[in-house]
Structure 1
Amino acid sequence: MLLSERANSAELRPLRYQFATARGNRYDDNWLVIGGTMTTAEGTWSFADPSLLTHEARQVAAYLRAVPQGRCLWAGDPSPPVPGSGAPVAAGR
């Protein structure tokens, strides 16, 4: 997912599962390594880190798609709920 506005951008993408083979643990088996590149007027930086479970990645994607359309429940709220907390992410979902 690429979000961009003038000179600033943020790109997030799932790279792989953290563990190549399923271990029979619902958390370990669904843990994703997320890659990202952030660009501002001051510079660019990248990362790759085990960051999200598969269901959290779906919630974050829905949230980020909803924000620019004004459908986000927390647009303008400086403290949105934490992904995976069970709170709804976007209005109407």
Structure 2
Amino acid sequence: MDRQEAERLAKLLKAVADPARLRLLSIIHSAPEGEVCVCDLVEPLGLTQPTVSHHLKVLTDAGLLTRERRGTWAYYRSVPEGWSSLGALFG
């Protein structure tokens, strides 16, 4: 593994090394519609909207989620390649 790949994987692992982020990934990945509005993530986590948004940004920056803005709300989807990268570490 070269340095660039090691840094990318370290960023990915750091992003998922938080219980709230793991819960967010689980909720979004298992959503029947394939996406979840940030407004629907606050209550299940019991965190404030700014805190949830921060965690979502970290996951998006790590390549695990994508974000689409619709009006005042942001909708998040899982990125299959991000899940593949995680799976490759443990497979």
TM-score (norm 2): 0.25
Q: Which structure has greater helix proportion? A: 2
Structure with greater Cα Rg: 1
Q: Which structure has greater strand proportion? A: 1
TM-score (norm 1): 0.25
